[in-house]
Amino acid sequence: MTKKLFIISAIFLFFFSICCHADGVNTVVRLAKQAESQNDYSTAIRCYSKLIKKSLEDGKADTVLCNGLFDGGTCCANSNRYIEALQFYTLAIEQAEKCNKYGTKLSCLNNIGNVYALFNDYERAAHYYEKAYGLALKRRNDKMLSILSINLVKIYSQLGRIAKAKEFLNLQMLYPRAERFVNQYYILRNQGIIAKAEHNYTLANSFFEQAKETVIRHDLKKDDLADIHIEMGDMRRQQGQNGDAVREFLNAVTVAKKGNFLFQLQEAYKKLADTYKAMGETDSAEHYQSLYADLSDSIFNQRLFNNTKNKLYKYEDWVNEKHIGFLEETIGGMVVLISTAVAFLLFVLYNNRKLHAAYKLLVVKNEELIRQTKENRMLREESKMNAEVASSTAHNTNDAGGGDDTTLLTEEKRSSLVKDILVVMDRTETIFDPDFNLNTLSKMVGSNSKYVSLAINDTYKKNFKTFLNEYRIREASIRLADKKNYGMLTISAIGESVGFTSTNGFIIAFKKIVGMTPSVYKRLKDEK
C-alpha cells in the first residue's frame, strides 16, 4: 500500500510541476502581450525576458515557451533593441528544434539574418538566409521563400555577387508576395539594386523611381520609401553627383524621423557624413558623423552584439557536434527501467572510460607537441637576426627559369627557405588571418609558391594546408585551455580567432590533428 501511495504521489508531483511550469510561462506571455497592446514595449520586454531564465533552467520541449521567446525577439526588434532580439531568437531556435516547430525556426533564422545585415555582417546574414531558404524549400513554405528570396537579392548585391543576386531575383518572381503592390515594390527595388551594382544607372534610376511611386501611390510602409531614397543617394554618389546624393539622403532622414525608423535614420546620417566629407564640407561632415555616432551607440552596441553572437555560435557548436559527441551528450540523460538497458549502459560506461583514458593520453601528447613548438620558437627567435626574411637573398627564386624544380631547389636553398618559413609561421598574427595562403607565405619569404610548397613537402612530408592547420590547431589547443584570456569565447569563436572560417572545418581539422573534438579536449583540460 505504501509503495502504491509513493508511486501515486510521485506521479502527482510530476504532473503538478508540469502544470505549474506551463501556467508560469502562460502568465508571463499573457502579461507581455497585454503590455504590447498598450504600446508599453519596455514592460513587455521585461516580461518576455523572464522566459529566457525559464528556457535556460528547463531543457524540456515547450511550445508556449517557444512561441513566447519568438514573440519576445519580435518585440525587441520592433523596438530597435536588436541585441536582445538576437538573444530571444537564438533561444527560440533551440526550443523550436525540440518542439519540431519548423515555421518558428524558419522565422528565427530569417530574423537573425536581418540582425546580422543591420550590423553590416553580410556574409553571416547570407549564411542564415540561405539556411532558412533550404528549410523553407524542404517544408514547401512559399511565404518564407518569397521573403527570403527578397532578402537574398539585396544581400548578395551588397556582397558584389551579382550572379547569385540575379538567381534569387528569378526565384523571387517564382514565389511572389501575396500582397500585389508590396510584391511589385520589392521586384522593382531589387531590379534597381542589381542594375545599380552593374553600373547601369539609367535602368537603375527607372526602377527606383517606379518603386518610389508604388510606395506613395499605394500607401505602403514608409520605411520602404526611406530605403529607396538611400538607394538612390548611393547611386548618385557612384555617379559622382554628390549634391543630388545629399538631397536623397536628406529625404531619407525626413521620412525616417517622421516614422521613427532608426535604422534608416542611422544609415542616412552615415552616408551624409561620408558624402559631405568627399565634398570637402568638413563642418557638415562632422555634424552628421556626430549624429550617426550618437544614434549608433544607442542602437548598436558592438560589444554586446559580439557576446550575443558568441551564444549563437555556441548553439551552432551544439548542432554541429551533437552527432560527433553523441555518447557524451546522451548518457547523462538516459533513464534505464529494465535490466537489459542497465547492462547496456554499464557496457557503454566501461568503454567510455577507456575512451576517456585514451583521450587523456592524446591531451598529454598534444601538450608535448605544444611544448616542443614553443621551445623551437624560442630557439628561432634567438637566431632571428641572422635569418631575417626580408634580408635573405640566398633563396630568392622568383626569377628562376624553367627546368626541374626539384633540381633547382638545392639542399642549401631548401634549408634556408625552411628556416624563413618557420619564422613567418611563428608570427601568429599573420598566419591566423583567414586570407593567409601559400602565395602570402611565398611573398613573405621572398620566394615563389612552387619552391615553398616543395620545401614543406620535402621537409615535413605534408602539403601546405595540413602544415598551416597544424600551427593553427596547436594555438587553438592553447586557447581552449586558457580560461583567463579565452574562457569567454565559444569553440566557434576560438576556431575563428585562429583563421578558420567554418565551425565544421575547425572541428574536423582539430579532430584529425589532436584525435578528438575541441569540446572534448576543452572538457578534459578543465578537469585538470
Q: Where are the domains of the chain?
A: 13-100, 184-300, 339-527
d(CA 202, CA 372) in angstroms, rounded, equals: 64
pLDDT value of residue 329: 39
249-268-216-237 Cα dihedral, nearest 10 degrees:
40
Three-state DSSP string of 39-98: CCHHHHHHHHHHHHHHHHHCCCCCHHHHHHHHHHHHHHHHCCCHHHHHHHHHHHHHHHHH
Contact 356, 327 (CB under 8 A): no
pLDDT value of residue 475: 87
Q: Which residues contact 477 (CB under 8 A, 6 or more apart)?
A: 366, 370, 514, 521
Three-state DSSP string of 203-263: HHHHHHHHHHHHHHHCCCCHHHHHHHHHHHHHHHHHCCCHHHHHHHHHHHHHHHHHHCCHH
pLDDT value of residue 74: 94
Q: Which of 1.10.287.610, 3.40.440.10, 1.25.40.10, 2.30.42.10 would CATH assign to domain 184-300?
A: 1.25.40.10
pLDDT value of residue 233: 97
Tens of pLDDT along the chain (528 residues) come to 454 544 444 444 444 344 444 458 899 999 999 999 999 989 999 999 999 888 877 668 889 999 999 999 999 988 878 878 888 998 999 899 999 999 999 999 999 999 888 877 888 899 999 999 999 999 999 999 999 999 999 999 999 999 999 999 999 999 998 899 999 999 999 999 999 999 999 999 999 999 999 999 999 999 999 999 999 999 999 999 999 999 999 999 999 999 988 889 989 999 999 999 999 999 999 999 999 888 876 665 544 555 555 555 555 555 444 434 433 333 333 333 333 344 444 444 444 554 444 445 455 555 555 555 554 555 444 444 444 444 444 444 443 333 444 445 677 788 888 888 888 887 657 888 888 899 888 888 888 888 888 888 888 788 888 889 988 888 888 888 887 777 777 888 888 888 898 888 888 888 888 877 888 788 777 765
pLDDT value of residue 330: 37
What is 13-100's CATH number?
A: 1.25.40.10
Query: Do 184-300 and 13-100 have the same topology in CATH?
Result: yes
d(CA 248, CA 242) in angstroms, rounded, equals: 10
* Cell numbers found for residue 107: 522565422
pLDDT value of residue 419: 85
Q: Which residues contact 343 (CB under 8 A, 6 or more apart)?
A: none
Q: Which residues contact 27 (CB under 8 A, 6 or more apart)?
A: none
Superfamily of domain 339-527: Homeodomain-like (1.10.10.60)
